[in-house]
Every structure is written in structure tokens, then in C-alpha cells.
Amino acid sequence: MEIDILSDVLRSLRATGTVYFCDQLTSPWTKEFPGEPVASFHQVRRGGCWLITDGVEEHLGPGDLVFIEPGRHHVLTDQPPGNASNDNQPPTLLLCGYCEFDDSLQLPLASLFPNISVIRQEQLQEHAWLKMLLDTLSAEYLSIRPGTSLVVTKLTEVLLVELIRINFGQNGETAMLRALSDKQIAHALQLLHNNPENNWSLDLLASEVGMSRAAFAKRFKTLSEHSMFDYLTKLRLQRACELLSDTDLPLYEIANRVGYESDLAFTRTFKKKLGLTPTAYRKQSLL
């Protein structure tokens, strides 16, 4: 069975999220977000506000959604920047949430997450399913029914996938989306994700997708911004991290499952890339 590459890496990134605030704010109001180690998203359900962050001043109207990278300090306020206080602004219904993911391996797909992206209501209107998802997310959070917390969490994770699918409303594609849009490179990625334990070489993979070795190596790196071997190594270690965290398999078995001939070679590569041994990683994940 072929693996869905996007789903596979999102699962490996352990991408999770939830909504933690959805309420009506009466003027004047200001909410400050100090830059937590999670990505933030905010949608203006009704009314309007200003986003202020690192010199960026962006007005958000009804329906507008903003996605902000982890660690970025930002402020949302109904008061126009640089102007005198105005207490007569209409009330704002604001939805706030966060997304968290493990990027310790700096996986290629993590580059899909933008530094900051504003998706206007007009853009959301073009994606009926995404708009409906946000409407449902808001309604479910406000309902406070049994099971609301679980439903909101699952809907937020779906929201993250949908935002990636539309490339966070941007016109230009990120490197990984370009790679997935290229028929031959996407086929190569599919082969790697299906069987990372195989003894892949540039010659073999290029042959599988009908390209010369040189052309394949150049296009793979240009589109994904990673060499094939770098991508494969990170993919293998990603799978290894999952097995170390979620199973009690011995190291030699994990090494074999992710494409290493010995647990010694596996341990050496793992420590070089992550800074700790597989055994230490397993103990840490159990804390």
C-alpha cells in the first residue's frame, strides 16, 4: 500500500493543535502573545483588529485568518497603530489556536510552515471545505459539550492539513510542494517513504523514475532543497524515532527496519544527527 507522503511526515512530526480561545472582545482591547514555542493561528470571526509583529502591521477583517511561526512575539489589538486610542471600535469575535510539531530532525516537509501568512476571507471563500471547517471549529468550541476538547483537537489537526494543501494561501510554492508537484520527483519520494529500509542509490532511484543519475540528483535537490541521501537519512531517523518512542523493539531490529546493516552504524548516525544515542532518546521519550 502506498503511503500518503504528506500524512506520513505530518504524523512523524507529531503535528497536533487545538483552539484555546474564542470569545467576543469589547473595545478597547489588546492581546499580547509572547512567542511560545508553538505556531499560532487567529481568525477574526466578526469585527476587525490589527496584527503587530516585528515591524509588520496588518489589518485583519471579518473572516481573515493569520498563521504565525513558533516563537514569534505578536500583538492583536483593535486600536490602530500609531493613532490615538479609539474606544468606539465594534466588538470583535476572535478565534485563537496553536499548532505544535516536533522538528528536531529538520524534516523537509517542515519547510511548508510559513513565518507568517495572512489568508483573506476572499481566499477562504474559494475553499468551501476550509471555511466550513473553521465555522465548525468555532461552533464546537463555543458549544462546550461533552467531548468538545477532543473534537476541537482533531478539527485543528485537519485544519493544519488543509492549510498546507492550499499552501497557506500563498501564490508561490514552497520547496516541498514543488517537489510533490513534479511527477518524477514525487514518484521518487513515494518510493523512499514506502521503503526507506531499501539500499537506495542515486542510480537505482533515478532508474526507477526514468531519469539519468545527474539530472535526477540536480532536480531532486533543486525542488526539495535536500540531496537525496540527506532526505533519506532524515526519513530513516524519523522512522527510528517513532519506533524508539512507540515500541520496545531492540536496537538491532530498529536499525534493520530503517535500513542500517548494524546497530553500531545506526547508533553512530543517530548520535551525529540528533546529539544523543538511540538508547538515550528512548529513555527521554518515556519521561
* 96 beta partners: 21, 42
Least Cα distance to 151 among 161, 141, 162 occurs for 141
- The pLDDT tens digits of the residues spanning 144-201 come to 888 899 999 889 888 888 887 776 656 556 667 778 888 999 999 999 998 999 999 9
Averaged pLDDT of the chain: 87
Least confident segment among 86-95, 97-106, 192-201, 263-272: 97-106
Both 264 and 232 in one domain: the answer is yes
Task: Give the CA distances from residue 144 to residues 99, 150, 224, in Å, rounded to whole numbers and listed in that order.
Answer: 21, 11, 43
Query: Which region, left, alpha or beta, applies to residue 225 given φ > 0 means left and ψ of -120 to 50 means alpha?
Result: left
Question: Is the overall model pTM greater than 0.85, yes or no?
Answer: no
Whether residue 28 is preceded by a cis peptide bond, meaning omega within 30 degrees of 0, is yes
Residue 8 has a pLDDT of 72
Q: Of 115, 134, 169, which one is at a domain's C-terminal end? A: 169
Both 159 and 191 in one domain: the answer is no
Both 162 and 183 in one domain: the answer is no
Both 195 and 265 in one domain: the answer is yes
Both 137 and 34 in one domain: the answer is yes
Both 188 and 223 in one domain: the answer is yes
Q: Between 27 and 285, name the one with better pLDDT.
A: 27
Residue 9 has a pLDDT of 67
Domain harbouring 71, CATH code: 2.60.120.280
Both 157 and 204 in one domain: the answer is no
Mean pLDDT of the region 58-78? 93
Both 188 and 104 in one domain: the answer is no
Domain harbouring 281, CATH code: 1.10.10.60
Residue owning grid cell 502573545:
33
Q: Of 169, 197, 218, which one is at a domain's C-terminal end? A: 169
Both 205 and 147 in one domain: the answer is no
Mean pLDDT of the region 113-126? 86
Query: Which region, left, alpha or beta, applies to residue 226 given φ > 0 means left and ψ of -120 to 50 means alpha?
Result: beta
Q: Which long-range contacts (CB under 8 A, 24 or more apart) does 233-236 make?
A: 233/269, 233/273, 234/105, 234/106, 234/107, 234/108, 234/273, 235/107, 235/192, 235/193, 235/196, 236/196, 236/197, 236/260
Residue 232 has a pLDDT of 93
Alpha helices in the chain (DSSP H): 5-12, 121-125, 128-143, 148-165, 175-181, 183-194, 202-208, 213-224, 228-246, 251-257, 263-274, 278-285
Both 23 and 133 in one domain: the answer is yes
Domain that holds residue 143: 5-169
- The pLDDT tens digits of the residues spanning 187-234 come to 999 999 989 999 999 999 999 999 999 999 999 999 888 899 999 998
pLDDT at 267 over 60: yes
Both 143 and 33 in one domain: the answer is yes
Q: Of 144, 169, 194, which one is at a domain's C-terminal end? A: 169
Number of structural domains in the chain: 2
Q: Is 129 exposed, middle or buried (0-12, 13-18, 19+ CB in 10 A)?
A: exposed
pLDDT at 125 over 90: no
Mean pLDDT of the region 265-278? 93
Residue 238 has a pLDDT of 85
Both 147 and 47 in one domain: the answer is yes
Kind and range of the H or E run holding 75:
strand 74-77
